[in-house]
Chain A
Amino acid sequence: MCLAIPALIKEIDGNRATADVGGAMREISLEIIDRTAEIGDYVLVHAGFAIHKLEEKEALETLELMRKVFGQ
């Protein structure tokens, strides 16, 4: 129930946006998002509401950490 999925913002009209959610176009609300999102941004969407703007930089840093080998 607490799943949120990444979506790519394609169009914005006030507090509403059209976003690509795994290949399907959906209308989402930007009313409760944490930071201003623009066309081309990725956001986390939960039950039709964007709740967080994703930053690619943070994702890449996590991946880098995951690829490290520890304890050998």
Chain B
Amino acid sequence: MKLSSAFRESDLARNIAANIARATTRRYNLMEFCGTHTVAIFRHGLRTLLPEEINLVSGPGCPVCVTSRSDMDRILFLADLPDTIVATYGDMMKVPGSGMSLSEKRARGADVRVVYSITDAVEIARANPASRVIFNAVGFETTAPSTAAVIRNARRESTDNFHILSLHKVTPPVVLALLEGGTAVDGFLCPGHVCSIIGSRPLEPVAGAYKKPCVVTGFEPADVLQGILMLVRQLEDGESRVDIEYTRGVRPEGNANALAAMDEVFCRVTSDWRGIGEVEATGLKLREEFASFDAEQFIDREIRSDPDPPGCQCGEVLRGEIKPTECALFAGACTPESPVGPCMVSSEGSCATYYQYAERTRK
């Protein structure tokens, strides 16, 4: 799309950066909730365009990073079952469970296959009717509706050997949980594509009850800078609203069709977020009508999980309390090749992003 490249013009970015510099009179901590934003900020070197007063803090918006160790242990348990193929996104392969990772399981003979999308996992199920195929379904609201659509189709087409372990999570309540716990964040750069689905309205309590301005922001360099400008202007004017920067991708009411698919297939349950703990009504579980597709049915015993490894500060990083570079393990004991915590595993984890973009040299 020609319009996409227009949002990457460097003159446009410089103009917005100059607007930010002129608008900013105080120091602000702004949290980019979404890991895709963190990557965009580093890839385009946007921090170098910002005045010193703007402190960008990464949040818990990486679905791989917030997957708890006990959820990893459940998928690792499933990978050991006979006649079972586990299909997963590549990012989940190296996340350490209590014992090992999926990658290590595969090296020891488990049938673990990396897929690009859930539809590839369904194809594997169709091609292997004698095996049960379990898809490790991670992701926020951007991803959950596609899982819902696939499950509906699997029921219609009786793809009975296809199952999911739903690790899907919904995001607005976790922002409220962060705020309940107390935070130094002044405003939130909110995830554009999550809001393509849910709209901007679920964020209203953040701006209303907690008085933290929110700007729903796109992912091109100019979008991210414009989102920051819109946050600074609200803060400077003493206002607190939910604004949409990414109007071409988000409507206030969201995507009713996708939300209906999600609601038809999933109900809300308590979910365990790494670094944050259990948050009510943030997990998506298959409804009773779709229970035959739920891989939970194969977990027939209690799985004990070890506590997180000593020294790992993924929790503090995910809550925006410390920067990745402030963790004692960063770039020493914990690297993308040999990760200790999930924030160093995922390509959108804040530790991996800081590491890749050479902040390690500034330690």
User: Do B118 and A47 touch across chains, with their CB atoms under 8 A apart?
Assistant: yes
A2 in contact with B61 (CB, 8 Å): yes
Chain B: interface residue total (CB-CB under 8 A): 59
Q: Is A40 part of the contact surface with B, judged by Cβ < 8 Å?
A: no
Task: Note all chain B residues with C-beta closer than 8 A to A67.
Answer: 12, 15
Task: Determine whether B159 belongs to the interface, using a CB cutoff of 8 Å to chain A.
Answer: no
Alpha-carbon separation in the docked complex, A70 to B71 (Å): 48
**B116 and A47 contact, CB distance less than 8 A:** yes
* B245–A8 touching, CB < 8 Å: no
B193 touches A63 (CB 8 A): no
Chain A CB within 8 A of B95 CB: no
A: number of interface residues (CB 8 Å): 36
Question: How many angstroms between the C-alpha atoms of A70 and B6 in the bound complex?
Answer: 20
Judge whether A2 and B257 touch: CB under 8 Å. no
B194 touches A31 (CB 8 A): no
CA distance A68 to B23 in the complex (A): 13
Selected interface stretch from B175-183, B246-254, B323-331: B246-254
Q: Which residue of A lies closest to B139 (CB)?
A: A1
> Interface-forming stretch among B143-151, B284-292, B303-311?
B143-151
Q: Which residue of A lies closest to B246 (CB)?
A: A62
Considering only residues 138-180 of chain B, those with a C-beta below 8 Å from chain A are 138-140, 142-143, 145-146, 148-149
A69 in complex: contacting residue of B15, B35, B140, CB < 8 Å:
B15
What chain B residues lie within 8 Å of A48 (beta carbons)?
A: 116-117, 119, 146
A13 within 8 A of B: no
Contact B348 A1 (CB under 8 A): yes
Smallest CB separation, A29 vs chain B (Å): 7
B338 within 8 A of A: no
Residues on the A chain within 8 Å of B219, using CB: 3
Q: Check B209 for interface membership: any CB of A closer than 8 A.
A: no
Residues on A with C-beta less than 8 A from B146 are 29, 32, 46-49
Instruction: Indicate if the CB atoms of A47 and B19 lie closer than 8 Å.
Output: no
Residue pair A32, B36 in contact (C-beta under 8 Å):
no
- B30 in the interface, Cβ–Cβ < 8 Å? no
Q: Compute how far the CA of A35 lies from the CA of B15 in the bound complex, rounded to whole angstroms.
A: 34
| Contact across chains for B118 and A1 when beta carbons are under 8 A apart | no
**B89 contacts A by Cβ under 8 Å:** yes
- Listed residue (B6, B249, B346) with the most chain A CB atoms within 10 angstroms of its CB: B249
Q: How far is the CA of A55 from the CA of B249 in the complex (A)?
A: 8
Indicate if A65 sits at the interface (CB-CB under 8 A).
yes
Q: Could you list which residues of chain B lie within 8 angstroms of chain A, going by C-beta atoms?
A: 1, 3-4, 6-7, 12, 15-16, 18-19, 22-23, 34-36, 61-64, 89, 91, 116-119, 138-140, 142-143, 145-146, 148-149, 191, 193-194, 196-197, 219, 222-223, 226, 229, 245-251, 254-258, 261, 346, 348
Q: Which 6 A-B residue pairings sit nearest by Cβ, starting from the closest? A: A71-B22, A34-B255, A47-B117, A58-B248, A32-B258, A49-B146
Interface on A for B, CB 8 Å cutoff?
1-4, 6, 8, 29, 31-34, 42, 44, 46-49, 51-52, 54-56, 58-63, 65-72
